[in-house]
């Protein structure tokens, strides 16, 4: 069964460092999303991406965050200068059309 693949599964970084999280979407999906879940809290929307551009972003997605699909397959989330409060599980999700979203297993980011 097709699945969304995320790497790394866990990353530990120092505050102020840059982090890149990667996602391989399901092959025929056109809509891509990043969500995050801080421990014990709700899953929160960060950004949606379609046709090589951001279609919607939340207040959380400030100038420290960026997304791209550099090679037509991987979909990446970059955090330029990590802060302690960026520690969370980051989920990539993809969608073919207007139906179900399919989520990856997540990348746990720990900022020290």
Partner 1 sequence: KQEVTQIPAALSVPEGENLVLNCSFTDSAIYNLQWFRQDPGKGLTSLLLIQSSQREQTSGRLNASLDKSSGRSTLYIAASQPGDSATYLCAVRGGAGSYQLTFGKGTKLSVIP
| Binding-site ranges for partner 1 (CB under 8 A) | 33, 35, 41-45, 48, 55-56, 58, 91, 93, 98-106, 108
- Tell me the closest approach of the beta carbon of residue 83 to partner 1, in angstroms: 23
Minimal distance, residue 13 CB to partner 1, in Å: 19
Nearer to partner 1, 4 or 111 (CB): 4
Least distance (Å) from partner 1 to the CB of residue 100? 5
Q: Could you tell me if residue 16 is left (phi over 0), alpha (psi between -120 and 50 degrees) or otherwise beta?
A: left
Give 14 or 41: the residue with its C-beta nearer to partner 1.
41
The residues, ordered by sequence, that sit 6+ positions from 68 with a Cβ below 8 Å of its Cβ are: 75, 76, 78
Torsion of CA 81, 87, 88, 92, to 10 degrees: 20
**Which of 111, 108, 62 shows the shortest CA–CA distance to 83?**
111
Q: CB nearer to partner 1: give 55 or 73.
A: 55
């Amino acid at each position: 069964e097709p699945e969304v693949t995320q790497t790394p599964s866990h990353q530990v970084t120092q505050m102020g460092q840059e982090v890149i999280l990667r996602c391989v979407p399901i092959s025929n999906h056109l809509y891509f999303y990043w969500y995050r879940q801080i421990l014990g809290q709700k899953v929160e929307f960060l950004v949606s991406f379609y046709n090589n551009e951001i279609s919607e972003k939340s207040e959380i997605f400030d100038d420290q965050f960026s997304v791209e699909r550099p090679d037509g397959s991987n979909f990446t989330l970059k955090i330029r200068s990590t802060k302690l409060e960026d520690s969370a599980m980051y989920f990539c999700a993809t969608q073919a059309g207007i139906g179900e979203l399919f989520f990856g297993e997540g990348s746990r980011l720990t900022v020290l």
